Amino acid sequence: MSKYDWLLFLHVTGAFLLLGASVIAATLLFAAVRRERPSEVALFLGLIRFAVPAVGAGSLLTLVFGLWLVSAAGYDYSYGSFWVIAALVLWVLANALGKFGGDRAEATRKLAVELAGRGDAPTPELTTRLRDPRMLALNYGSGLLVLLILVDMIWKPGA
């Protein structure tokens, strides 16, 4: 295998990690939002923490090996290509939205853990936090941007 093939393999591996972990996190968030008991909410939101390292690793692999691929491709691609710039902008935005949405979800998880320890009764505050439009928009928006990166990588608009 050539150097380019290895770079592509590692880039695509990162993409699978990023997409797979993002889907897992979104599914667990969706499951948590549908629960009322604080112990169940805490469980599902807590499980998201296991997907976060894979999201981070996938993000890092896609960025590092994606940029390296552009460099290794020679005249076929350039850093000034629209699709490369679009991917970088979407990558930054997806990570930022995921970070801020994840911080809000973590605060909600902590509240759920606290409530679970005090009788496990549903409260309006927990329900409000779970259905917080900002938290949901940030988290699901991050996932949507990851999908847009995939679309950008497949069709390479402007190439």
Q: What is the pLDDT along the chain (159 residues), one digit of tens a residue?
A: 999 999 999 999 999 999 999 999 999 999 999 999 999 999 999 999 999 999 999 999 999 999 999 999 887 889 999 999 999 999 999 999 999 999 999 999 999 999 999 999 999 999 999 999 999 999 999 999 999 999 999 999 987
Q: Hey, what are 13's tokens? A: 């591996």
Confidence at residue 93, expressed as pLDDT on a 0 to 100 scale: 98
- What is the residue type of 29? L
Domain ranges of the chain: 3-155
pTM of the model: 0.93
Closest alpha carbon to 109 in 45, 47, 64:
45
DSSP of 53-98, one letter per residue? HHHHHHHHHHHHHHHHHHHHTTTS--TTSHHHHHHHHHHHHHHHHH
Confidence at residue 74, expressed as pLDDT on a 0 to 100 scale: 81
Buried b (16+ CB within 10 A) or exposed e, 107-144: ebbebbbebbeeeeeeeeebeebbebeebbebbebbbb
Confidence at residue 57, expressed as pLDDT on a 0 to 100 scale: 98
Confidence at residue 152, expressed as pLDDT on a 0 to 100 scale: 97
